[in-house]
Amino acid sequence: MSSSTTPAALKAAILIVSTTAAQDPATDSADVTLRQVFDEQQAQWEVHESKIVPDDVVQIQKQIIHWTNQATAANGDNNNTNTINLIVTTGGTGFAVSDQTPEAVSALLHKNAPGLVHGMLAASLQVTPFAMMSRPVAGVRNGTVIITLPGSPKGAKENLQAVIKMLPHACMQAAGANSRALHKGGVKKLEQEAGVEGGGGRGHGHGHGHSHHDHSEHRGGGGGCGVHGHGHNHGHGQGHGHAGLVRHTTPSENPKSNDPSLGPSRRHRESPYPMLSVSEALSQIAQHTPIPQIVTSKVDSSLIGAVLAQDVSARENVPAFRASIVDGYAVVVPQDGNMRGVFPVVSVSHAAPGDGENMPTLKEGEIARITTGAPLPPGATSVIMVEDTVLVSTTSSKTQDAEDGNGVEEEKEVEILAADKVREGENVREVGSDIKQGQLILGKGDQVSAVGGEIGLLAAVGVGEVQVYRRPVVGVLSTGDEIVDHDRPGDLRLGEVRDTNRPTLISAARDWGYEVIDLGVARDKAGTLEETLRQALRQVDVVITTGGVSMGELDLLKPTIERSLGGTIHFGRVAMKPGKPTTFATVPVKDNDGERVSKVIFSLPGNPASALVTFHLFVLPSLHQMSGISPPGLPKVPVTLGHDFSLDRSRPEYHRAIVSVSRDGVLTAVSTGGQRSSRVGSMKGANALLCMPCGPEPLRKGAKVEALLMGGLRSDV
C-alpha cells in the first residue's frame, strides 16, 4: 500500500435503524457494541459519527445520502476529513412489516457487494440457523462502502466481525486508491495485511503475519507486560513453593465454536474473548451497569449505606423554640448588663412539651428557674448558670409533687453572683440557630453512614422519608458438578469440593449492605444452568456465579449467557492475576410490569481466591454504581511494601495483603502468603489488594504501590 492512500484511520459511521431507539436512545446498545468491534481493530477505524433513525425508508435514505455525498465532495481523496469510508446500518433487516432497511439501502447502491453479504451470512449461519432471517445487503455508493447488519447487538457484532478484516481493502478501493499498488504482492500479502487466513489447504502456522497473532494479549494500557505466554510462572515467593501453571505453547487464534452441543472436539482451545486490561474492564462495567433506580425509604437504620437521590432541606427549625443551654435561671438583663443581686424566683420551666406555654411574661427584677433545653419564658433575654447563684430563701409552704408525698421546699429567692456584664442571649439557643428551616441539610449523592451524623440530621428536622437509590438485590450461584454444600456432613468422595465461594461471597455482599439471595449450586448442564439463571434473573438485579468460565468443555457460563439468554458479554477475559476468565454480561429481561430491563451477570472464576478478589475489584463497583455510590469501588491509598514482593511476568497482580498504619503515619503492606488462586487462605486477614505491576524483577521492600482497601486499617500504634 502506498502511503498516499493509507489513511491514519478509516472513518466509519453507524446508522441505528430502530423506531424504539429513535424515541429513546437509552434503549440502544448496538452503538456501543459496534464501536467496540471497531476499537478492537487496532486503531484502523475511527467511528466518525452515529445516528439513530426510525424504521422509515426516507429517513434511512436521507442520512445515507448525506454521509455518502460527503464522499463525493471529497472526490475519492481519503485524506479528506469529510470522507466516510464505511456505513454500517443495524436493524430493520428481518421479515417484519416494518423492516425495510435493505430496500432503503439497495436503492442507493451504485455497486453491489454480494461477497460481503455472503461472508456475513456464512459466519452467522455457523452460529444459528436464524441467520436466515436476516436479509443483508452490501455495496458501494460514491466512495463509501455500506453494509446492513441485523438489529440484535449480538448478531450485528458477529456479522461485522465476520467481514471487518476485509473492509479496509474494500473501503480504500472504493475511495479511489490505486488498485494496482494495492494488489501488488498477491493475495497472500493481502491476507497477511488483513490478518486473515486463506483456505486452499495451506499449511497451518506458515506464512502468517505474526504481528497479528494474539494481539489481544497485548491490548490496552497496563493490560500486559509485553511478554508472551511463558512456559512457567516465575517467582511465587513467600516460600510456599507451589508449582505455577505450565504452558508449552504460545496462545494462537484458533477460533472454533462456543456451541456446547458440539462437544469437546469443536470447542475453542483458546478463549475467543479479547483480553481487556483491568481499567478497560472497569470502564465496560461503568458503561453497561444499569442506571440507579429511585425509591422512597424510611429514616431508620435501614437507611445506613444508602445514597440520597434528592437534596433534603430542613422541615423545621432546630431548636424550634428559644431554649436554655444550661440549668439555671432565666433573666431579663437590664441595659447595663448588671445582674448581681437577690431576685425572686417567679416560675419554673422544664424541658417538657407544653411546659411554660402559660408562663407569665418575665419582668426585669424577676427570675425563673429553667432546665437545660427548656423554653425560655416570654420576655426572658438570657440564662444565668446555676453554678453562678446561691439560694437565699425558700417558701414556707411545701409543694406536693415530691415523690415521697412529703413535699419539698421551693426556692423563693436566689442570689446571682459576679454577673455584672451579662449579655442578651447568653446561654440561649435561639430558634433555628442549629439548623434553619428550609436550609439544605444533605445533598443528592450523599451517603448515609453508620456513624449516625446523617440519620441524626434527618431525624432532628422532622424528615421521616427520603428518596434514595435502590440498592440492587444480589444472587449468588455456585456452579460445578463437583461442588457440594460446605456443611454437608461426612467425608468428601474423590473429586468432590466443598462450596467455598457461595458462603464467602454471600457474606461479602451482605457486609457491603446488599440484600443477597442464595441461589445454591447449579450442575454443569446447559439446560440446568439456563433454567437456574432465568429464574435468578427474575428475582435479583445482579447474578454472581462462580466456576464454569475456564476453558473446559463443561465451562458453560459464557455460551449459556450468549446463546440461551440472549445476553451480551462485555468482556470474558481480563489481563490480571488472579481472575483472568472474569466475565461481565448484561441480559435483557422483562420486569414485572412487562418493561424490558437490563440485568447484570458477573461470572467469576471458580478458584476461591480469584472469586473473592474479582468480587471486590469488579462486582463491587457495579453494585456501588447501581446504588448511586460515587466514586464506585474500593478506596485506593498509597502504601509502602514491608518486604520484597515477587511479580508476575505478564499480568498485573492483585496481591492480598495486610496494611497497617504505624506511629509515624506510614501505611505498610505485608503479604498474606502464597497467592495461588485456589488458596482462599490468602484472603484471611487481608484488608487490602495491592496493585502490583507485572515485570521480571521483584519489587523491593520500601517501594510504593497502590492498595485497594477492603477493610479497616490495622493500627500498630
Residues that bind ligand AMP (CB under 6 A): 478, 480, 482-483, 497, 499-502, 546-550, 552, 555, 605-608
What CA–CA distance (Å, rounded) separates 640 from 623?
30
For 572-676, where are the E strands, in sequence order?
Answer: 583-590, 596-604, 636-641, 653-661, 667-671
Please tell me whether residue 559 binds Mg ion under the rule CB under 5 A: no
Give min distance, CB of 257 to ligand AMP, in A: 19
Amino acid at 437: Q
Residue 99 binds which entry of Mg ion, ligand AMP, none, with Cβ cut-offs from 5 to 8 Å by kind? none
Give min distance, CB of 262 to Mg ion, in A: 19
Residue 607 binds which entry of ligand AMP, Mg ion, none, with Cβ cut-offs from 5 to 8 Å by kind? ligand AMP
Length of the chain in terms of residues written: 717
Residue 33 binds which entry of Mg ion, ligand AMP, none, with Cβ cut-offs from 5 to 8 Å by kind? none
Q: Which is nearer to ligand AMP, 501 or 682 (CB)?
A: 501
Q: How many CA atoms lie within 13 A of 361 on its CB side?
A: 3
Give min distance, CB of 235 to ligand AMP, in A: 23
What CA–CA distance (Å, rounded) separates 683 from 613?
8
Please tell me whether residue 652 binds Mg ion under the rule CB under 5 A: no
- Of the residues 547, 608, 673, 674, which one makes contact with Mg ion according to CB under 5 A: 547
Q: Which is nearer to ligand AMP, 157 or 616 (CB)?
A: 616
DSSP bridge pairs for 374? none
What CA–CA distance (Å, rounded) separates 502 from 75?
62
Angle at Cα 478 formed by Cα 472 and Cα 480, nearest 5°?
Answer: 155
C-alpha cell at 106: 439497495
Give min distance, CB of 65 to Mg ion, in A: 53
Give min distance, CB of 579 to Mg ion, in A: 15
Residue 501 binds which entry of Mg ion, ligand AMP, none, with Cβ cut-offs from 5 to 8 Å by kind? ligand AMP
Q: Which is nearer to ligand AMP, 166 or 556 (CB)?
A: 556
Residue 217 binds which entry of ligand AMP, Mg ion, none, with Cβ cut-offs from 5 to 8 Å by kind? none
Residue 134 binds which entry of ligand AMP, Mg ion, none, with Cβ cut-offs from 5 to 8 Å by kind? none
Residue 255 binds which entry of ligand AMP, Mg ion, none, with Cβ cut-offs from 5 to 8 Å by kind? none
Of 236-244, 288-296, 365-373, 480-488, which segment contacts Mg ion by CB under 5 A?
480-488
What CA–CA distance (Å, rounded) separates 209 from 192?
5
Q: Which is nearer to ligand AMP, 231 or 552 (CB)?
A: 552
Residue 452 binds which entry of ligand AMP, Mg ion, none, with Cβ cut-offs from 5 to 8 Å by kind? none
Q: Which is nearer to Mg ion, 547 or 652 (CB)?
A: 547
What CA–CA distance (Å, rounded) separates 65 from 68?
5
Q: Which is nearer to Mg ion, 29 or 607 (CB)?
A: 607
Give min distance, CB of 680 to ligand AMP, in A: 8
Q: Which is nearer to Mg ion, 398 or 498 (CB)?
A: 498
Residue found by looking up cell 487496532 in the block: 42
Q: Which is nearer to ligand AMP, 150 or 608 (CB)?
A: 608
Please tell me whether residue 7 binds Mg ion under the rule CB under 5 A: no
Residue 648 binds which entry of Mg ion, ligand AMP, none, with Cβ cut-offs from 5 to 8 Å by kind? none
* Widest pairwise Cα distance in the chain: 123
Give min distance, CB of 504 to ligand AMP, in A: 8
Please tell me whether residue 548 binds Mg ion under the rule CB under 5 A: yes
Residue found by looking up cell 438485590 in the block: 473
- Of the residues 480, 605, 632, 642, which one makes contact with Mg ion according to CB under 5 A: 480
Strand 568-571 and strand 583-590: the pairing is antiparallel
Residues 6+ apart with CB under 8 A from 114: 138
Q: Which is nearer to Mg ion, 366 or 482 (CB)?
A: 482
DSSP string, 487-527: T--SPPPTT-EE--HHHHHHHHHHHTT--EEEEEEE-S-HH
* Residues binding Mg ion: number (CB under 5 A): 3
C-alpha cell at 138: 452490501
Q: Which is nearer to ligand AMP, 389 or 677 (CB)?
A: 677
Residue 483 binds which entry of ligand AMP, Mg ion, none, with Cβ cut-offs from 5 to 8 Å by kind? ligand AMP
Of 7-15, 199-207, 500-508, 543-551, which segment contacts Mg ion by CB under 5 A?
543-551
**SS3 state of residue 580:** coil
For 256-381, where are the E strands, in sequence order?
Answer: 294-298, 312-313, 323-324, 328-331, 341-349, 367-370
What is the number of the residue whose Cβ is closest to ligand AMP?
606
Give min distance, CB of 651 to ligand AMP, in A: 17
Radius of gyration of the chain (CA): 36
What CA–CA distance (Å, rounded) separates 547 from 532?
15
Of 430-438, 466-474, 497-505, 539-547, which segment contacts Mg ion by CB under 5 A?
539-547
Residue 177 CA from chain centroid, whole number: 45
Q: At what angle do helices 114-127 and 153-163 cross, to 10 degrees?
A: 130
Q: Which is nearer to ligand AMP, 271 or 478 (CB)?
A: 478
Going from the C-alpha of 251 to that of each of 230, 272, 581, 586, 629, the distances in angstroms are: 10, 11, 15, 28, 39
Q: Which is nearer to Mg ion, 134 or 545 (CB)?
A: 545
Which of 304, 684, 662, 661 is closest to 671 using CA atoms? Answer: 684
DSSP 710: S
Residues within the interface to Mg ion (CB under 5 A):
480, 547-548
